[in-house]
Structures are given as structure tokens and as C-alpha cells.
Chain A
Amino acid sequence: MAKITMTVNGRQVSGTCDDRTLLVHFIRENLGLTGTHVGCETSQCGACVIHMDGLSVKSCSILAVQAAGSSITTIEGLAKDGELHPVQAAFKAHHGLQCGFCTPGMVMTAVDMIARHGSNLDEATVRAELEGNICRCTGYHNIVKAILAAAGEMGGVRQAAE
């Protein structure tokens, strides 16, 4: 058993878990933050994407102990004071979701993508960068539209989620 501490959505949290516990299970079960989903648990689908120290990662493929001491942002950490994050608002406005299962991972991926590419983001880049995120419903078109719209709205300014 390991006792671990990390910063999640700006708050320091601690918990006890097996060394083999996956980060996604620590987030969902120990911390009760169930916005992060598990689609495949084999690093294919991207439903579990979160940010660790400012970069997008698949939390089903990382042990919670590996993340000890790091700063984590989950989908719950994006909205501020009841206001949706611009990427969340764009997904809503552009119908970037249907069932919503892939959405937390898609949004976290989009925020990371916009932070890295800023105003250089174009459709081809968005599609290439969605390589690790699978959506069974939308056919991706509206997801791509939402990400481009959010990137435009955020003025291409480098904006980290953290």
C-alpha cells in the first residue's frame, strides 16, 4: 500500500491505494471524481484523458503512485465559478457530443491541443491530434468544429488549464 499526495484541480489531496492502482481508478474511486471515464482501459480510446503537470495523458495507463507529487487537472477542474471553459462551451454550441461518453477526454485533449498549438491550429492538425480519442457517436465533424471554434475564441493565446 502507498500513501500518496497530489494536487488535483488546484487542491491538495491524499489517499491510500495499492501500488498497482491505476490513476483513473484513484481519481474515480478514491477522489469520487467520476467525470473522467474508462472506455477501454487499454490506452486506445482516450475517454480517460486528464492533464498531468500540464500535459494530456491517458490516466488508465499510469499508476496512481507514478502521479504522486504531480499536479492533475480533470474535467471537473475546467469550469470556473459556474462558467463553462471556452472548450466546453464550444462543444455545447457546436453539438460536439451525443451520448457524452467520450466528451471529458475529448475536451481535455482539446484544451491541451490548443495550449500547444495556439493560433497555428488547423483542421488537419486537429484531426491528426485526435488520433488517440475515439467517438462512437458524432462522426467527429462537430468535435473538430468545436475545437477550431474554441481555439479561435481563445484568441490562439497560450492558455494552460492549470
Chain B
Amino acid sequence: MYQTNYHRPSSVQEAVKLIGGAAEGKYLAGGMTLIATMKQRLAAPSDLVDLRHIAELKGITVNGRSVRIGAATTHHDVASSAELEAVCPAICALASHIGDPHVRHMGTIGGSIANNDPAADYPAAMLALDATIVTNSRQIAAADFFTGLFETALDDGEIITAITFDAPAKAAYQKFPNPASRYAMAGVFVARRDNGEVRVAVTGAGSNGVFRHQGMEAALAGNWSPDAVGNISVDASDLLTDLHASAAYRAKLIKVMTKRAVAAA
């Protein structure tokens, strides 16, 4: 790892100012991705601005069905929130299957979505839940936020402060984890609203990152049951092929994960 300078602000304002004054600064949340990247010398920030000690970035608020999760809230805190469990158990279950307990004690929702790993779990939830990504300067719809592999709509120095969404009537997430890394080879988050609208978001499989599958959404809006997607074909041409699975195999996994998710919701 190259040399770096560590800073510990106690407010968002101070954090933004510190990044602004740094040659090549980076925010540090749980560090579960960033520290590893720095060890490999794939990142060499001149300055690290730690977000773990900023109270306004932490915590979960549930008001009726409206949910706000602070960006620096850990996977562990999402997984074990009774308030969240009462309105949207799917996101708690998702968080409880990220990595291992030690990773969940450090890793944060803000770090996960800012990183936008094509195999990360939270991006699928954000798209399917029609979440809003709140930053220090604006609000971004999830649909506009995830722009490609490890790419987001965030500007330099922009900081995610929270994510918000309205809890759907039903939701579930199912992933087929890579047996070694536990990252999704295909993960599907389904959500159904009271008005019958359905969203199906897929992670781990798209060659351009997380995406929605309109064909399955239409089928499930007509008939909310695992059988409804039986005749839908998933186009493999935009899916990833790698060491772990071919695009055709991932296309099959997406259908199976969707069926399982609908059955579990």
C-alpha cells in the first residue's frame, strides 16, 4: 500500500471540505473494498476521509412505510434492524447474506452502492425498490444512479448521505452465490406494490451491471406467481461470461432466482 493521509471528520460538511482540499482524496467507509484495492495498489488516494464517525450518516428511520437508511449504516445494522424487518424484511435478509459476519460489521450500504460492483447485492435492491440516493447536494433516482460497471452518477467529492424508499407490499431477494467468493453469480430482487406494479432487478449477471427485466415485470404484474415467468426467455446476449459461468447459464439462473424470489416474497 502506498502512503496516505488519514482524516476523521465529524460532519458531512467537514468531510466534503477535506476531500475538496486533497490532491486525490477518497472517502473511506467500511474499507471492505477500498483497503483491499489500496493493498493491491489499484487505488492510491493521497488522503482518506473516514465516514465512520459522522453521526448524521448513520441509522435507520422508518416512518409508516417510508424508510431512510444512513449511508454509513453497516450491513449488520441493516440485517438486525427490527424496525426495518417489520416493513421490508427482504432488505434485512439481503444484508444478512453479504460476505461474512466480520465484513458485515464494517461494510456499509453507502460504500456498496458507491462502489457499484456488478456482483454486489444492494444495487438490485435499490433498483427494485425504486430507491432514491440522497447526496450532500441532490437526490438521484436509483434508475439514474447506476451507470455501468463500477460507475455511478456521483460527481467527484459528492457524498452519499442516505438512501430512501417506500416499502413495497411484497419483496424478496434470492442470490445464487459463487461458492468461493459468495458474491452473486445471479441475484434477483423482486418487489410488488399495492397498485400491482412489479419490479425485477438483476445483479451479478449483466455485462453492464445491475438491470431491470421488463419481460418478467410484465408477466408478474399480470400474475404474481413463480409460474408466471415460466415462458419468459432471458436474452443472454447482454450477460456476463467468465470463469464461473457462461452467459447462457446465467440466463437460466436469473429465471430460477426470480421464481424463488416470488415464492419467498
- Which of B1, B2, B32, B102 touches A56 (beta carbons < 8 Å)? B102
Is B100 a contact partner of A131 (Cβ separation < 8 A)? yes
B interface SS class: mixed
Interchain CA distance A43-B34 in the complex, whole Å: 12
List residues 1-17 of chain B with CB under 8 A from any CB of chain A. Answer: 1-6, 8
Tell me, yes or no, whether A13 is within 8 Å of chain B by CB: no
B105 at the interface (CB under 8 A from A): yes
The reply to whether B101 and A19 form a contact with Cβ atoms under 8 Å apart is no
**How distant is the Cα of A49 from the Cα of B100 in the complex, in angstroms?**
12
List the count of A-B residue pairs having beta carbons below 8 Å apart. Answer: 69
Interface residues on A, range: 20 to 34
Task: Flag whether B213 is at the interface (Cβ < 8 A).
Answer: no
Q: Residues 32-52 of chain B: 1 if any A CB is under 8 Å from the residue's CB, otherwise 0?
A: 100110110000000010101
**Residue B222 at the chain A interface, CB threshold 8 Å:** no
| Least Cβ–Cβ distance between A67 and chain B, in angstroms | 10
Residue of A nearest to B177 (CB): A131
A18 interface hit (Cβ, 8 Å): yes
- Asked whether any CB of chain B lies closer than 8 Å to the CB of A31, the reply is no
A61 touches B101 (CB 8 A): no
**Chain A residues within 8 Å of B32, by CB:** 43, 61
Q: Are A112 and B5 in contact (CB under 8 A)?
A: no
| A32-50 contacts to B (CB < 8 Å) | 41-43, 46, 49
Contact of B35 among A61, A113, A129, A131 (CB under 8 A): A61
The 6 A-B pairs at the shortest CB distance, nearest first, are namely A132-B100, A131-B100, A55-B105, A19-B6, A65-B6, A20-B1
A-contacting residues of B (Cβ < 8 Å)?
1-6, 8, 28, 31-32, 35-36, 38-39, 48, 50, 52, 76, 99-103, 105-106, 182
Q: A57-B106, A66-B28, A131-B101 are in contact. List 5 more A-B contacts (CB 8 A).
A: A19-B4, A57-B102, A112-B101, A131-B100, A133-B100
